[in-house]
Structure 1
């Protein structure tokens, strides 16, 4: 699948900036760059050592396009495993395009999305899971997702899979050997050791599969719906959490007609807060549409915050208790957090009363805060973090964030379970070998021992052009 031609692309974001980096990779990268680069010291690029930087000018005939720094990375010690040239030029759009067009005229081809990383994979510099982690690292927007992507890019996940695959492959070889001596009725594979291995592999696979629930929310953020009656302070709370005036706030009930979303990082985890329209009976057509969207957003959210007016809670706690039970019954799988807002508007005695009342709400966390003054907002953030089980992250265990990996792990577990059942029931070696081969196949899908052009095309199409 790999092309031997030389590719070129802008490796930094498009648009004007102080510096831009243009990358070339391929067997002719150094030769092509050498023709268009004039070193200030008169050095010849092809004679320079790998991993060196040179000051000079990019020239087109007698015309100087820009003064640049040019870096040389010779194969196989480069990102792609090929000869690579990186040119740091001034970030003018005009200069970027002039240099790229110059190299295209000299025989380069524009790189496709992810083609540099694809070449790194095909040349054995990265396995497939590490290559996918590169894209995750680029798109990471909080500490947790960055940490997971770095661990996977360094091979933490792939080394764990490779170790399991190697052990299983050793036993598979012994099982296959038994088939060659079937007439002599001998066993080369110790069935007791094999059972222990299968049990260990099953345990690891289940742990990795279970980690996907955490990994998915870390990678994509946790949607949190803020719901409640009109004018209870939902938009004020959103603004307090974001520390900016993101939502319009007024004393007029029904000001928020549509959902407003924004994301912040709390403790390294991304939370996407959704400020919804106030829930009430209304004849206003536009407001009714907003209320309908509120229920849609609750369906999509993983955590629901029910915001109540602290003053009203004191006198109408029984009504609110019914509302809480309705939400819990309708969305039993979603964590519900009840917040009593506007505590700055009630007396100390009233605060003690609502504290006593809230203690009756069994298994439903109740917090008191003032979105207007910011009192209690930090406690809310700490409570939200409790809904995310980040123990695996803190313990540096492998966490799965990729849906493709998750699917392959499920399939591998299914085949390993078949192997376990076969061992327990005394299944013949030829049938055991079939299930083992299938498990090995799914392991290979993760790291790239087993690939197809369609699979690689789908994965690398999601990369940016210059990576």
Structure 2
């Protein structure tokens, strides 16, 4: 990862491959000058003399050869995404045209941008802090309404402002404590201890809230894995198809048809859910089916919600059916005590109301559905949403989704707790000053006020080229 900003970089900003339009982006001190050397306006306008945020129609010329008719947008520093001179060339989406234009500028003063280098330059030039830069990548990869909403809030600086406010207040007290150390012989106290205690308690509460939000934020960002389990032929694949509204899994009357896990994701209420259709659980001598059943238990371990599907007709056909069902439910609850379990009574369409009432009275919190007809599927979706705390989203509260931020928050909280201990034990100011500095450092790592080249390289290497 190069961090120099005195050269001009170029990259394709739109996805590679053929399309109607492609956008090629240049950023650097010579971006406008370089493009003006190979651009002829259709209306005889000089690119270098145009105001910022201007678009011109014309041709990109390589010697006596016209490469393409294009639209050229110019953004002059500091009023651009990167804080440098930026030019975006909108050309026709032929891969040949894209490469011809990029190669032209690579031969004449540009170099190919590294992954995320445009956003890196925006960070280095003070256009955004590090957490906002990371939110750009999250916004690009967002696949549902909730993850998009969180990324937008963080990119606009909601999380950054909260961290910056805490850090500024703590920094003020840190300065006063340092001042006390300079006058240690005079035994003076510049920092109001009661106000300092109140601030430390406040920071501790805020940090704990942000740390707790990661549990919600992480699943919203990555999707919530839901395992659909049960005995063979109870309708697991049919339910998956009903949830996805497509024929994703093979359905047949032959028990053991699903021998491997099948996964797909949908958005429910703006939240991504990744459904996993597993092999039916039963005793079998079939080697391939046994491998599938082993994978079923592995997927249950990975899932955050378990849907236990039962065939209601099969349960009611035996005198001990309901009793055995209750035993099986208890086994799953005991094996996975921390996982939300939803027991679903399938094939509701072939049961009488009386049969359904008898079953519901014996098994608590039973959700009757018909995967075949779709009855009860919407209710199931609403139940799944109840497992996710979306209140923070509705209240526009800050939600942490980034593992790096989470780690820094944990370390900052640990340092603050040491400060609290120092206050309670009336430790000397110089010892507390060390822990305060640690907390400031960890908070600064989130926004980039404390950073290094290795950290920047790790973060921006995960970006796409052209952003």
- TM-score, structure 1 normalization: 0.98
> 4+ residue stretches of structure 1 with deviation over 3 A?
none
Deviation at 1:385, TM superposition (A): 0.4
Offset of residue 425 of structure 1: 1.5
Contact 1:227 1:277 in 2 (8 A): yes
Deviations 1:25-59 (A, max 9, x none): 00110111001110001111111000010011111
Report how far residue 231 of structure 1 moved.
0.5
- Match of 1:383? 383
RMSD between aligned residues: 0.7
Distance 1:392 1:349 in 2: 41
What's the CA shift string for 1:178-199, capped at 9, x where partnerless?
1111111010000000000001
Q: Shift of residue 151 of structure 1? A: 0.3
Separation in 1, partners of 2:183, 2:312: 79
1:390 Cα deviation after fit = 1.3
1:342 counterpart residue number: 347
List gaps (5 residues or longer) in structure 1.
Answer: none
Q: What's the secondary structure of 2:37's corresponding residue?
A: helix
Give, in whole Å, the separation in 2 of the partners of 1:17 and 1:100: 16
**Residue 119 of structure 1 aligns with which residue?**
121
Is 1:352 aligned to 2:354, yes or no?
A: no
The corresponding residue for 1:239 is 241
Q: Which residue of 2 is the match for residue 177 of structure 1? A: 179
- For residues 194 and 351 of structure 1, what CA distance do their matches in structure 2 show? 62
**Structure 2, unaligned runs of 5 or more:** none
CA distance in 2, matches of 1:273, 1:366: 20
Separation in 2 of the partners of 1:179 and 1:283? 76
How does the TM-score come out when normalised to structure 2? Answer: 0.98
* 1:93 maps onto 2:95 in alignment: yes
Q: 1 CA distance for matches of 2:9 and 2:45?
A: 24
Corresponding residue of 1:295: 297
Alignment partner, residue 28 of structure 1: 30
- For 1:16, the equivalent position in structure 2 comes to 18
Deviation of 1:354 after TM superposition, in Å, equals 1.5
What SS does the corresponding residue of 1:23 show, helix, strand or coil?
Answer: strand
Map 1:314-325 onto structure 2 (within 5 A). Answer: 314=316, 315=318, 316-325=321-330
* Contact preservation (8 Å) 1:263, 1:271: yes
Shift of 1:347: 1.8
Partner residue, 1:436: 436
The CA distance in 2 between the partners of 1:313 and 1:368, in whole Å, is 13
Paired residues, number: 462
* CA displacement at 1:325 relative to structure 2: 0.6
- Measured in 2, the distance between the counterparts of 1:40 and 1:382 equals 57
Contact kept in structure 2, 1:2 and 1:122, CA below 8 Å: no
C-alpha offsets along residues 225-284 of structure 1, whole Å, 9 cap, x if unaligned? 000000000000000000000000000111101000000000000000000000111111
